[in-house]
Structure 1
Amino acid sequence: MHERKHADRQRTQATISAMKPSSATRKWEFEPLDKTSFTPMYFQIQTQLLKLIKEGQLRAGDALPSEEELSRACGVSRMTARHALQSLKSQGFASRHKGQGTFVSHPKVEKDITHLCGFTAEMRALGLEPSSRTLNAETVPASAEVASRLRVEVASPVFQLRRLRLADGLPVAVESVWLSQEQFPGINQLDFASLSLYRTLRERYGIRVSRADEILEARSASRHEAELLEVPRRSSVLVISRTLWSIDGKPVETAHSVYRGDRYRAVLAIPATAVE
């Protein structure tokens, strides 16, 4: 019995060695499965692939072994191998490209919606390099919705700032912000390609923020949003509408942000006192 297990292990290791990238590419190891364990085979495969991803041996954009390769290497059915890959996909760690295979996905950015934080600080706290591309920065007449949120007259001048937000060079959100020009004179003269909006509000205008009201909804991306976010049209997006308030009870800004559904997820921590 022991000799048979040893032979199985050697056979599995030999097959997996054939799957390893050549010396010109990154090498990674795959341990034999424990077929005597109560842990399902698909879960053992998933766990090992996930370990390789988290350790950086498999990186975003790398191809994962195919169902056939996993099936042959691990001595399991293709259905079991498919289950392992689909499980990684459902958790957001992998994506399937028709006709090409399954690839490691870029990690999702987690947004703590219980904590008010600017995009730059938020990304850096997650170990990502933030950057922005200004789409437009101009004075526009306030729409009825914007006027209501900023408590200004309809058609009064407001500063509109639209930016494409990127993390590690990849687009994650399209952000539109509106501020009253009467409340923030000269703001339309500033270059927010290099300036932090919140730092400017704090240091130049003396604004101290007390809270933010946010509304979250899920929908499909419009054609323009899909182009900017580099996703197929009608892909899922997370939309956050926000109004920021100062400590003296005045609205500071209103914003509308569209986040890639495959790159972003909202995290909400609920205190125990809120549970009956």
Structure 2
Amino acid sequence: MNSISGLQGFQDRFDGPLYMRLKLAFEAFIQARHLQQGDALPSERDISEICKVSRVTVRRAIDALVDEGALVRRHGSGTFVAAPRERLEQPLSLATSFSEDMTRRGMVSSSTWLDRGLYLPGADEMMTLGLTGNSKVARLKRLRLADGVPVALEHASLPSDILPDPENVDLSLYAHLARLRARPVRAVQRISARLLTQEEARLLVVPEGEAGLAVHRVAYLASGRAIETTKTLYRSDLYDLVTEQIIGPA
């Protein structure tokens, strides 16, 4: 029990719901190496007594840390500090697909399809892709995983004359477009941060209200035609977006 006695008074050091403050306190404890990889946590009852909170609060905090991979439960043994997850870096200077990024890192990419099909375009799709109201747009919505861990939600829209068969897209959209001789050559990306909705948090296996990195990309053919608009929401605890800049002469 002495190993977490330093958590006492955590309520005054963090903001938010009580369980979230306890979660943040555990994260700070782990980052400061007061708890290290492989260390076992005391029982929920002991943590409840030390921190002077209910066992429900303790359980919610631990559940959130398990969902994020900071802690791991072993049946019959207890809860332990997990090995740290490697953060993924996405270079913004390269217009590559998620599958290509994971392959480059030696990781296995996979997807859970949430929707794919042909639809009438919405106003944003018409404006960005230069479509008329009578056109069709191919929409691809999926959860992207790296080595089985959910890391991003992706919503892509393309004109139907570019992607007439969205149901035939397998793992990599860009590989499919390359076979159709319609792979984009450049892209413009806009980045912002926002809180995840309840459904987004459920799919990404993080607590509701966590921050996500939102990237809106518009990709172009060599002719200059915009053929893809994609909105991707990344887990901010696993993903870093990196850019390289050329520094000119003074």
CA distance in 1, matches of 2:70, 2:206: 13
Query: When the two structures are superposed, what TM-score results if normalisation uses the length of structure 1?
Result: 0.61
Query: When the two structures are superposed, what TM-score results if normalisation uses the length of structure 2?
Result: 0.67
CA distance in 1, matches of 2:89, 2:40: 27
| Structure 2 residue ranges without an equivalent (≥5) | 1-31, 42-68, 73-77
Higher RCO (CA < 8 A, seq sep 6+): 2
Q: 2:190 aligns with which of 189, 199, 215?
A: 215
Indicate if the aligned counterparts of 1:220 and 1:236 stay in contact, CA closer than 8 A.
Answer: yes
Q: 1:136 aligns with which of 115, 118, 123?
A: 115
CA distance in 1, matches of 2:117, 2:185: 27
Which residue pairs with 1:168 in the alignment?
Answer: 147
CA distance in 2, matches of 1:208, 1:140: 21
Q: Secondary structure at the match of 1:173?
A: strand
The one-letter code sitting in structure 2 at the alignment partner of 1:218 is: A
CA distance in 1, matches of 2:209, 2:155: 20
**2:209 is aligned with 1:234:** yes
CA distance in 1, matches of 2:81, 2:171: 39
Structure label with greater radius of gyration: 1
**RMSD in angstroms over aligned alpha carbons?**
2.8
The one-letter code sitting in structure 2 at the alignment partner of 1:120 is: S
| Structure 1 residue ranges without an equivalent (≥5) | 1-44, 50-61, 67-93
The size of the alignment, in residue pairs, is: 188
Indicate if the aligned counterparts of 2:186 and 2:220 stay in contact, CA closer than 8 A.
Answer: yes
* Identical-pair percentage: 28
CA offsets per residue over residues 156-208 of structure 1, 9 Å max, x none?
32010011100000100010100111x226323x422x35211121112x124
Shift of residue 212, structure 1, vs aligned partner: 0.2
Q: 1:191 aligns with which of 168, 176, 180?
A: 168
CA gap of 1:64–1:125, structure 2 versus 1, over 3 A, is farther
The one-letter code sitting in structure 2 at the alignment partner of 1:160 is: R
CA gap of 1:231–1:191, structure 2 versus 1, over 3 A, is same
Which residue pairs with 2:13 in the alignment?
Answer: none
Q: 1:248 aligns with which of 195, 214, 223?
A: 223
CA distance in 1, matches of 2:162, 2:92: 26
